[in-house]
């Protein structure tokens, strides 16, 4: 993460926090219901993965900006740069309307090899 990078809220979905072990890093931060455009998949590890797409919605929550230090730790847990997730800025919809948020996502080619999400 570069120092110039904006610290945005974090969009989380399904059981991403407990499966990745990241739930403790965001404990105490406010959460609000939100949704983002995309498809939810399951990776072979069982972790959920959001593939951004314009034709579907994924429900989740927006967490207050975690700060640069926590965000760097979350990136490591998510495997950003190591073939894991990619952190992307998405437009999410909340009770306040649309807003920008970070989310850990996978790209379409990787989603093609992932299974459909289980409820």
Count CB atoms within 10 A of the CB of residue 106.
24
Question: Can you give the pLDDT at residue 81?
Answer: 86
pLDDT at residue 112 tops 90:
no
Question: Can you give the pLDDT at residue 108?
Answer: 64
Q: In whole angstroms, what is the distance from residue 72 CA to residue 68 CA?
A: 6
Question: Can you give the pLDDT at residue 109?
Answer: 54
pLDDT at residue 118 tops 60:
no
Count CB atoms within 10 A of the CB of residue 18.
11
Say if domain 10-113 classifies as CATH 3.40.30.10.
no
pLDDT at residue 86 tops 90:
yes
Better pLDDT: 26 or 2: 26
In this structure, are residues 74 and 25 in contact, taking their beta carbons and an 8 Å threshold? yes
Domain limits, the chain: 10-113
């Amino acid at each position: 993460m570069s120092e110039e990078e904006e610290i945005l809220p974090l969009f989380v979905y399904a059981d991403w926090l407990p499966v990745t072990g990241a739930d403790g890093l965001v404990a105490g931060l406010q959460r609000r219901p939100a949704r983002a455009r995309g498809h939810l998949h399951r990776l072979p590890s069982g972790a959920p993965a959001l593939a951004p797409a314009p034709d579907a919605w994924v429900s989740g929550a927006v967490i207050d900006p975690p700060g640069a230090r926590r965000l760097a730790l979350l990136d490591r847990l998510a495997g950003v740069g190591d073939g894991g997730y990619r952190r992307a800025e998405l437009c999410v919809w909340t009770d306040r309307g649309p807003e920008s948020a970070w989310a850990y996502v996978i790209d379409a080619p990787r989603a093609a090899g992932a299974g459909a999400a289980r409820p």
